[in-house]
Structure 1
Amino acid sequence: MRIRIGVLTYRGESGFVEPGFFRRLVQEGREMGIEVFLFSPQDVRFSERRINGFVPEGNKWRRRQFTWPDIVIDRYRYYPLPKHRAYLPFRKQNWFRYANNRFSNKFVVHQILIQDPELQRWLPETLPYDRKTLASMFTDHRQVYLKPTNGSGGRSILRVEKKAGRYLLHGRTKQQAKSCEKLATLREVCERLEHWMKNEKNGNEQFFLQQGLQLSLIPNRTVDARLLVQKDGTGKWCLTGMGIRVGPTQSSTSNLHGGGKALPAISFLIERFGHEEAERIVLECKELAIKTVTRIEEHFGQMMEFGFDLGIDVHGKIWIIEINPKPGREIFKQMREYERYAMAIRRPLEYALYLVNKSNLTD
């Protein structure tokens, strides 16, 4: 009997949120001899132990009935909005065996990691928003970022820079519209930030402040590194790949969704730091990612893959900016590293297969 893997995700009126990735995932499964299908909480028929799942057929998604999966990969990108209301109660039940546990929001994750003495030196100062905190942070930092706890793709982030006695604000809204303005006083900045949070938050989402870093390895551009770490078919954490993301001119982030471009990491770093320092940076990024996921698993339980956004400042110091448990892998496609892109899609299936086989041996 073929092993059956369900992929839990959000399905709205307009379909699935990552259709290209999911098509590739189902196709990779077929090539591995695994049956892979997509489903959402509303598709499960508990009394019959059946699921109205979906598989790609041509340019469309075809609904089919599936029996209970051997294991489920949770790819649901949750936001505190009414349309996602069903996810958390659904996920907290033990109806399925999952390849990956639930994670938490960015600020909570930072609070967990900052308690580890080995990780503290890589973490920028990060605090809940209030006016006194913002004023205090500007005594130590020239730049401060305002970020949502559940944001992704660089949306709803605002960068505030103190320059020549004025404050420059750069950001992108939920709809990816650019926002740029100059303000004279910190009080005006606070009022603007509070208005931004009110308009940009999803449901009861909170915002936090984060120390700005000197990530302009290219003048007037935000530059960072994206690492994809995944478990392989033996259950071990591996670095699947790494790339550099360069944001558009004056952009507050480097995200590819916001017009950033991807470049191979080692050649970019050699050009700026020389061979020896570039190799040190790449090795430290890898070791940092593996050390961090180990700490995360101690707290959250079994995980499967993470995308790391790491800052590399002008002095070659590395910073953890963000950790995403449901990462994209389009950076490899942008860099034309197609074999690595295929590996990045295949590895979650290989790991899920490993868990099923391991369970069958112990039953």
Structure 2
Amino acid sequence: MSKKPVIGILTWREGKRFGEPGYLRRLVTAGKRMGAETFLFSHQDVNTAEKKIRGFVPAKGGGWESRLFPWPEVVIDRYRKREDAYMRLRHGGVFQFANSPFGKKWRVTELLAKDDRVKRWIPETYVYAKGKVKAMLDRYPIVYVKPGNGTGGRSIVKISQAGKHFLIQGRDRRLQRRKASFATRDGVESWIQKWVREQRIRDGNFLVQQGLDLSLVPGRVADVRLLIQKNSAGEWEVTGSGVRLGETGSSISNLHGGGKAISFQSFVGKRFGPERTKLIQQECHRMAHEIASVLEEKFGRMMEFGLDVGVDVAGRVWLIEVNPKPGREIFRQMGDTRTYEEAIARPVSFALHLINSGQVQTKGGRKTGA
């Protein structure tokens, strides 16, 4: 009788405190349910010399318990901080990963903007430099300035022309709302220079991006979060999508910035009708498949992407951002339990596919596919 397949999940840990504990608890539970020995670990838990690894699993009654686990046959990387110790482990060749390291936001945007298969969906984007905001305001009525390594809507500002003035709305690093108004582009440029200096996230740069009119509901920003994942056959498949509707007057739609999760069909359908909505959704899915294919060619094997997609007031589809380690809470907040559970299970089912199809070299003589 063959042993259970062994799947490790690499994540940030401090004591028994983990990043995204709710999701990770569900991920480990899904692995167990699917017949795999599944556990969490961090870079400090690995003894490469003795091939030992300390792992963590949910404890009965809450919390976490730890013990030594067999060496994982495949590792799912959910580590979100680019810390030196993590980077050394990630690039050290000691594990077989389900997902490859990914590039910085600017590099990814630049790559997609140059690829004929996907460039039509990419808004004009530049690395921030003095004078770039003024130049973009000459061309577009809305311009965004955002960190190239940010998450959750932090440090993003929206600049829009309101009559003879320029209105700035945004959220700082602590997600506090910030507003300003200027009569000139020079005034905007000076304010943004200070913002970039003070609101920088770690050592990252900022991007200046063509703004999109995403106010399908007047005065509120809305965008689509689409999740595309590898399925149990190792093929890309759109798991689901939903709309994030920002608070009135907010420049972002993020759920922990006060946004609300709504079904794609009902929200987009109210604006464009059922036939047009179906075409818009088909384009979103086509874009997701094309982008996943392009990025996998560039970075190596990947297993999932969260796409932030803009549908503007004319019904045109745009890519706002790609996240290789996406959340999936939008489905839970929409009340779509089936999609939420599928979104959690798919990384494990893909890892099992890699083991059972012989795409990872197993240790200790366990026969793949047995």
Please tell me the TM-score bracket, short chain as reference.
Answer: over 0.9
Q: Which moved more, 1:9-18 or 1:205-214?
A: 9-18
Q: Which residue of 1 aligns with 2:362?
A: none
**Which of 74, 78, 89 does residue 75 from structure 1 map onto?**
78
Q: Summarize the Cα distance change of 1:14–1:168 in structure 2 as closer, same or farther, 3 Å threshold.
A: farther
Alpha-carbon distance in structure 2 between the residues aligned to 1:180 and 1:38: 42
Give the SS at the match of 1:103.
Answer: coil
CA RMSD of aligned residues (A): 1.5
Residues 293-338 of structure 1 deviation map (CA, whole Å, 9 limit, x = unaligned)? 0011110010000001100001100000000000000000011110
Structure 1 position 362, deviation (Å): 9.3
Q: Distance in 2 between matches of 1:132 and 1:202?
A: 21
178-187 or 232-241: which moved more? 178-187
In structure 2, what is the Cα distance between the partners aligned to 1:279 and 1:154? 29
1:256 alignment counterpart: 255
Identity of aligned residues (%): 45
Deviation of 1:349 after TM superposition, in Å, equals 0.2
Partner of 1:4: 6
Aligned to 1:163: 162
Aligned residues of 2:171 and 2:178 also touching (Cα < 8 A)? yes
Residue of structure 2 equivalent to 1:352:
351
Could you tell me which amino acid in structure 2 is paired with residue 153 of structure 1? G
Q: Which amino acid aligns with 1:68?
A: W
Name stretches of at least 5 consecutive residues in structure 1 with no aligned partner.
none
Could you tell me how far apart the structure 2 residues matched to 1:354 and 1:95 are? Answer: 20
Q: State whether structure 2 residue 304 is matched by structure 1 residue 305.
A: yes
The residue type paired with residue 221 of structure 1 is: R
Q: Distance in 1 between matches of 2:34 and 2:114?
A: 41
- Residue by residue, what CA displacement relative to the aligned partner does 1:75-131 show, whole Å, maximum 9, x if unpaired? 11124xxxx222222211100000000111111001111111121111100011123
Give the Cα separation in 1 of the matches to 2:106 and 2:290. 19
Task: Give the Cα separation in 2 of the matches to 1:118 and 1:297.
Answer: 14
1:63 is aligned to: 66
Q: Shift of the alpha carbon at 1:14?
A: 7.1
Deviations 1:48-72 (A, max 9, x none): 1111111111221112111210110
Cα displacement (A) at 1:290: 0.3
State the partner residue of 1:279.
278
Residue number in structure 1 paired with 2:132: 133
CA contact (8 A) 2:134 2:186 kept: no
State the match for 1:35 in structure 2: 37
Structure 2 spans left out of the alignment, 5+ residues: 359-366
Q: Helix, strand or coil: the match of 2:305?
A: strand
Q: CA contact under 8 A between 2:40 and 2:57: conserved in structure 1?
A: yes
- Correspondence for 1:15 among 17, 26, 29: 17
What secondary structure, in the 3-state scheme, does the structure 2 residue paired with 1:140 have? coil
With the length of structure 1 as denominator, give the TM-score of the two structures. 0.96
Three-state SS of the structure 2 residue aligned to 1:252 is coil
Distance 2:265 2:119 in 1: 26
Q: Distance in 2 between matches of 1:14 and 1:66?
A: 17
Counterpart selection for 1:51 from 50, 53, 58: 53
SS at match of 1:326: coil
60-69 vs 258-267, which moves further: 60-69
Separation in structure 1 between the aligned mates of residue 58 and residue 107 of structure 2, nearest angstrom: 37
**What letter matches 1:327 in structure 2?**
P
Q: Which amino acid aligns with 1:162?
A: Q
Quote how far apart the aligned CAs of 1:361 are.
4.8
Counterpart CA distance in 2 for 1:198 and 1:133 is 15
**Aligned partners of 1:225 and 1:338: how far apart in 2?**
18
Question: How many pairs does the alignment contain?
Answer: 359
Quote the residue 1:237 is aligned against.
236
Corresponding position of 2:331: 332
The whole-number CA distance in structure 2 between the counterparts of 1:231 and 1:318 is 23
| TM-aligned CA distance change 1:334 to 1:362, over 3 Å | closer
In 2, Cα distance between equivalents of 1:118 and 1:202: 32
| Structure 2 letter corresponding to 1:266 | Q
Partner SS state of residue 244, structure 1 = strand
Find the aligned partners of 1:262 and 1:211 in 2 and give their Cα distance.
Answer: 25
Aligned partners of 1:174 and 1:62: how far apart in 2? 34
TM-score, L = length of structure 2: 0.94
Match of 1:25 in 2: 27
**Conservation of the 8 A alpha-carbon contact between 2:146 and 2:156:** yes
Structure 1 counterpart of 2:77, one-letter code: D
The C-alpha deviation readout for 1:129-166, integer Å capped at 9, x for no partner, is 12322111111111111111111111111111122222
Cα shift at 1:204 = 2.0
Query: In the alignment, which residue of structure 1 is the partner of 2:196?
Result: 197
Aligned partners of 1:202 and 1:175: how far apart in 2? 11
Matches within 5 A, 1:210-221: 210-221=209-220
